[in-house]
Amino acid sequence: MKLLIASLLASVTLTAAQAADIVATGDLGLVVERADGSLLLVDRSDRAAIGRIEGLGDLSHASLVYSPDERFAYVFGRDGGLSKVDIVEQAVVARVIQAGNSIGGAISDDGALVAVSNYDPGGVRIFDADTLEMVADIPTGSKTIGLVDAPGRRFVFTMWDSGETWIADLSGDTPEIKKIPDMGANPYDALITSDGRTYITGLFGEDGMTALDLWQDAPEPIRVLPGYGRGAEELPVYKMPHLEGWALAGGEFVLPAVKHHQVLWVDATTLQETGRTETYGQPVFAMARPDGRHVWVNFAHPLNDTIQVIDTLTKQVVHEFKPGPAVLHMEFSPRGNEVWVSVRDAGKVMIYDTASFEKLGEIDAASPSGIFFTARAHRTGL
């Protein structure tokens, strides 16, 4: 009987954790709490926080990706920390300091490899997604930006200093690297289309952007919008725009301009400019709602209390509102019916209906910045 009770007790100690585990992971997400180095676990369906994971170091410019099963998040901290978080157990299960200053990461299409791009020392390091053991070290001699995953166990990334893009193929035993020079002066960020075909770098050192068609055996740099701001007065840049939030909207790319209060529209096939929309401030994120009909834009300091919504057909602003001080990030539900907005200095994540613009709820969070829903696990280039 004593034995039986012991065995029962052992079971019971697991039960509390397990009762909480009967949540499927498809509608969860993590919000970066930058001041505290913690992650807030949120449930989209309940529009609520359901846990907090602490001890993640410096999250002042953090991003993360998910494992294919939507159970683990790989968190890339500004301090070079790479952490593996189990969102079912709500715990950090592995953590390495892999560099001195890192700038983002990606996960291979099969979920087996996690890559991190670093400023110091400049390059890309690749880790086993299971154990976080380093499996490849790719020094580049440059600050390395715009790291994305591409189909076929590939990673693509670009050098700020040398203006080269490298394509690293990890499908064999050793990484095969293809180098593409002449991408332009000081690429500062990049994006890959959701089909993994087109890689576009934004340039800080010159007006314009550069695209690569990754379906070609030897991709050549294609200039996009060369000199788009020439003649216009350049405005000071308080915050570099992000390209990662980009998406295809009705056959056009929508991109935040640098040094101009505009978003730029580019035909996705011809890569020719199709229009510009004047905006309230310097855009930081210009994010297409998943259906592409609307583009939501937030802005750099000191105009970062405002969001504008642009209609893709007319390219006109159709809605403008002020969620609160320091709107840092927006994340759409995967099918686009809601958007979640980080309002850092209000200490809130605000939730809106994207059709009616009605506010649906809010969640307390400590200096929230990036919001990452688990549905990202199933997409290329996020």
Query: Which residues partner with 369 through β-bridges?
Result: none
Give the 3-state secondary structure of residue 20.
helix
Strand partners for 65: 74
Q: Shortest CA distance to 94 belongs to which of 130, 41, 54, 51?
A: 130
Q: Which residues pair with 278 in a beta bridge?
A: 262
3-state secondary structure 311-323: ECCCCCEEEEECC
Determine if 174 is a binding residue for a second copy (CB under 8 A). no
Based on the shown chain and the rule CB under 8 A, indicate whether residue 292 belongs to the binding site for a second copy. Answer: yes
126 is a site residue for a second copy (CB under 8 A): no
Q: How far is the CB of 135 from a second copy (least distance, A)?
A: 18
What is each CA distance from 362 to 43, 47, 210, 343, in whole angstroms? 12, 8, 39, 10
Binders of a second copy in range 83-102 (CB under 8 A): 87-89
Cβ atoms of 191 and 213 closer than 8 Å:
no
Tokens representing 356 are: 């009616």
By CB under 8 A, tell whether 218 contacts a second copy.
no
For residue 130, state whether it binds a second copy (rule: CB under 8 A): no
Other C-beta atoms closer than 10 Å to the C-beta of 165 total 26
Asked whether position 135 contacts a second copy by CB under 8 A, the answer is no
Among 51, 55, 57, 68, binds a second copy (CB under 8 A): 68
Among 51, 57, 336, 361, binds a second copy (CB under 8 A): 336
Quote the CA–CA distance of 177 and 123 in Å, as a whole number. 13
**Of residues 29-58, which lie at the interface with a second copy (CB under 8 A)?**
44-45
Number of residues that bind a second copy (CB under 8 A): 62
- Give every CB contact of residue 193 below 8 A, 6+ residues apart in sequence: 199, 248, 268, 381
Write down the least CB distance from residue 121 to a second copy, Å.
30
Q: Map residues 242-271 to x or -, x wherever contact with a second copy holds by CB under 8 A.
A: ------x-xx----------------xx--
User: Could you tell me the smallest distance in angstroms from the CB atom of residue 360 to a second copy?
Assistant: 10
Give the interface segment with a second copy, choosing from 10-18, 200-208, 271-279, 317-325 (CB under 8 A): 10-18
290 lines the binding site for a second copy (CB under 8 A) = yes
- Does the footprint of a second copy cover residue 318 (CB under 8 A)? no
103 close to 144: Cβ distance less than 8 angstroms? yes
* Binding region for a second copy (CB under 8 A): 5, 8-9, 11-12, 14-15, 18-19, 21-28, 44-45, 66-71, 87-89, 109-111, 151-153, 171, 195-197, 215, 248, 250-251, 268-269, 290-293, 313, 333-338, 355, 374-375, 377-380
